[in-house]
Amino acid sequence: MKKFIALTLVSALALTASITAFAATITQDTSDPKTTDTVITTSIKPTYTVTIPADVKVVFNAETTSFGQIKVDSAQIEPDKCIKVSLTTDGKLKNTSDKTKVIPYTVKSGENTFTSATYLATGEYTDLTLNITKADWNKAYAGDYEDTVTFEVSYENKA
């Protein structure tokens, strides 16, 4: 039994043993100086926090409604990487009683429809708006409407 334990311990030691990296030693025994390079490596994991818009209720007949913003609250990322935030939506508010009745809408950043954006540093943000045309409001049937959009945050190579 003791032999078995000892064997197990030896195996564990062998598997988890790490090789110590000694500092390079320069021996200067002649007038010709010797040099050597020392490579120091470390790995810092990338961290980031992104704020995405909260739930929003659109006022009836409002053609433009603030949808809040996507904001990078903190970011420690690699130089060749970026944080990408993508929006997935079908662009239709569905009547909760009858899904065939819809109100089309668009999510915009400025004048352009928002689909995704990339960020590199803390503090970068994108203001978003929800837009429903007057014509679409005028055609809408009475009732409660709702839609769920998905913001996907990913860590990607810089384009």
Partner 1 sequence: MKKIAAAILSLCIILTFSATAFAQTTDSGGTTVISTVVPDSHTITIVADGAEVSLDGTPGTNFTVDRLSEHTLTFKAGNGKEIKKILLNDEDITNKITDGKYILEGVYEDISITVITQNDGNNPNSPLTGDKSNTWLWFVILFAAGTAALCTKSYGRQKSNKY
Q: Among residues 24, 47, 97, 158, which is the contact residue for partner 1, using CB under 8 A?
A: 47
CA separation for the pair 143, 81 (Å, rounded): 45
Phi first, then psi: give them for residue 14, nearest 5 degrees.
Answer: -65, -40
CB of 100 to partner 1, least distance (A): 15
Count how many residues are written for the chain: 159
CB of 83: closest distance to partner 1 in angstroms? 9
d(CA 156, CA 143) in angstroms, rounded, equals: 41
Which conformational region is residue 68 in: left (phi greater than 0), alpha (psi within -120 to 50 degrees), or beta? left
Smaller CB distance to partner 1: residue 34 or 61? 61
Q: What is the DSSP letter of 47?
A: E
85 binds partner 1 (CB under 8 A): yes
Nearer Cβ to partner 1, position 24 or 76?
76
Q: Would you count residue 58 as binding partner 1 (CB under 8 A)?
A: yes
Q: Show contacts with partner 1 in window 90-129 (CB under 8 A).
A: 93, 103, 105
Counting contacts by CB under 8 A, is residue 141 touching partner 1? Answer: yes
- Which of 35/45 has CB closer to partner 1? 45
Q: What is the C-alpha to C-alpha distance for residues 159 and 151, in angstroms, rounded to an integer? A: 20
- C-alpha 155/C-alpha 140 separation (Å) is 39
140 binds partner 1 (CB under 8 A): yes
Give 90's DSSP letter.
Answer: -
Residues of this chain that interact with partner 1 (CB under 8 A) are 2, 5-6, 9-10, 12-13, 16-18, 43, 45-48, 50, 52-61, 67, 85-86, 93, 103, 105, 130, 132, 137-155
